[in-house]
Amino acid sequence: MSPWQCLWRRWARRSTAWGMWLEIVLLCTLDLGLQRLLVPGDPMGAHAAFPWVWMLPFLLALRYGSVAAVAASSLFGVYALLSLPFDHLSEQGSTLLGGWIVSLVAGEFSDLWQNRIKRLQSANAYISERLSHLTRRHYLLRLSHERLEQDLLIKPITLRDSLTEMRRHMMEAAKDDLPAIGELMHLLTQACQLEAAAIYRIVAGKIDPRPVVQRGLVDMLDADDPMIVQALQRRELLHLQSDPIHQQDSRYMVAAPLVNGRTILALLCVEKMPFLSMNFEIMQFMAVLLGYYADLVDLQAEIAPMSLRWPQLPASVIAELLRLARVQREAAIDSYLVSLQFTDAEHGLEMHQEAARQGRELDLNVSLSSPQGPVLLTLMPLFGQAAAAGYLLRIERRIQEVYGHENFSAAGILSWAVPVHGEDPESSLQQVLSHAQAV
């Protein structure tokens, strides 16, 4: 509120009070003057059938309250003392007292209802303010809901769901140099909203201009495009915002090579995609999914020697561990290895089975044996330390509900959580299994 508005309201309140007093004085003077003019010998209306002169204090009391009643009745009393002889005051006294009492009753009645009206107005003002707050909150909630809908349209599936789908497609795909490449393009199109894109095979360091798979209408490949040249040289994903000065002459929005660590298998070129999809999260999503696919194609040579060193581990777990190590190395997204050793001779196996049922869809569980009891090894892809701690806490609460043990120590359960090292994932596996003596 501005200072001028404050001054105006203060002046209005003061002018209203002065107007009330001026109205009381003028109306009482006019009323008493008319009574003196019409009935000179009976200024208070004592001898009339009804004292009409007292209607004015009564009406003023109803309008302004008890203060106006006292003021108007006092003016009438002062007028009676000044205008009537002393011997006539006894005749007008009862009328004067009765008019005074009636005016005060009317004033109290007015004050009572004015207070009630003020309370109702205050309550209504509070309710209106609450309604205004609720309206604003509802509006913000609607905006938030619309934003979530937009985010869902922009990124309808999560990275974890995409990796799970990609792993399933690769297990079902036939042997090829680029297996399940169509499913990879489908996931990229769905998650990143690609409108015009193609994947080109790279043979002997050269790009095959014929697309292996494409979405939308794409032009002939321009192998000399500056973004494609830099992406192949730097062996990493490039887009328009990564290096605007050098990419401003490119007709591609994204160029991403599929690198398996030694060679480049293929190249993804995106010519058209929504502007809202050009953000860090989508680019990271694309880089992780492409790197994950490249690892799925090329990890067979690395899986074999590790399978010989760790024969108790399935090849799928070793392959997943190597892929997650690459993700941590290139995208700095952590994953964790968690082991639980159940040393209770009576209920150890049952608790092991109960803990295995607490895993998430993306987790990989492996049951191992040790001299102290069964061991549950869990690989948690794309989750950090907080998620590993939450996973252990969930199992601990479940053991408490089913078996009544307060914590892992009381249940005879030993737990370890080790992050997957990007440079040496085998050391993480060695560390967690050495603690459990399951090597």
50: left (phi over 0), alpha (psi -120 to 50) or beta: beta
Do the beta carbons of residue 345 and residue 324 sit within 8 Å?
no
* CA-to-CA dists, residue 90 to 87, 104, 275, angstroms: 6, 21, 97
Report the topology of domain 159-298: Beta-Lactamase (3.30.450)
CA separation for the pair 276, 271 (Å, rounded): 15
Give dist(CA 399, CA 344) in Å, integer: 12
What sign does the CA torsion over 51, 52, 55, 57 have? negative
Identify the three-state secondary structure at position 70: helix
- Whether the Cβ atoms of residue 214 and residue 208 lie closer than 8 Å to each other: no
Buried-state track 232-244, b at ≥16 Cβ within 10 A, e below 16: beeebbbbeebee
pLDDT digits (tens, 9 = 90+) for 191-224: 888 899 999 999 888 899 899 999 989 999 988 8
Q: How far apart are the first and last CA of the chain?
A: 75
Q: Which regions in the chain score pLDDT beneath 70?
A: 1-17, 40-50, 84-94, 150-156, 171, 173-175, 243-248, 261, 300-301, 304, 436-439
On the 0-12 / 13-18 / 19+ scale of CB atoms within 10 A, 54 is buried
Which residue(s) pair with 200 in the sheet? 211, 267
Structure confidence at residue 212 (pLDDT): 92
How far is 64 from 73, CA to CA, in rounded Å?
A: 13
CA dihedral 309, 315, 317, 323 (to 10 degrees): 90
Distance CA(167)–CA(238), nearest Å, equals 25
Report the distance separating Cα 330 and Cα 360, nearest Å: 25
Give pLDDT, residue 142: 86
Q: At residue 211, what are phi and psi to the nearest 5 degrees?
A: -70, 140
* Residue 200: strand, helix, or coil: strand
pLDDT at 185: 92
| Six-digit token string for 300 | 């067979």
Fold of 320-436: Alpha-Beta Plaits (3.30.70)
Q: Hey, what are 47's tokens? A: 């001898």
User: Measured between alpha carbons, how far is 223 from 250 in angstroms, rounded to an integer?
Assistant: 11
In this predicted structure, what is the pLDDT of residue 14? 47
- This prediction's pTM: 0.46
Q: Cα torsion at 151, 259, 329, 355 (round to 10°)? A: 70
pLDDT at position 326, please?
80
Length of the chain: 439
With vertex at residue 345, the alpha carbon angle to CA 339 and CA 350, rounded to the nearest 5 degrees, is 65
**380: amino acid identity, one letter:** M
Residues 434 and 119: their CA atoms lie apart, in Å, by 75
Which of 408, 158, 348, 320 is closest to 417 using CA atoms? 408
| Structure token digits, residue 283 | 């680019």
Residue in 104, 99, 107 with CA at minimum distance from that of residue 51: 99
Alpha helix segments (H runs only) across 332-379: 348-356
* H helix runs in 235-384, sequence order: 244-247, 280-298, 300-309, 315-331, 348-356
- Which helix (H) or strand (E) is 202 found in, with range? strand 196-203
Q: In what order do the strands lie in the sheet with 373-380?
A: 364-370, 373-380, 336-342, 413-419
Location of structure tokens 């192949």: 232
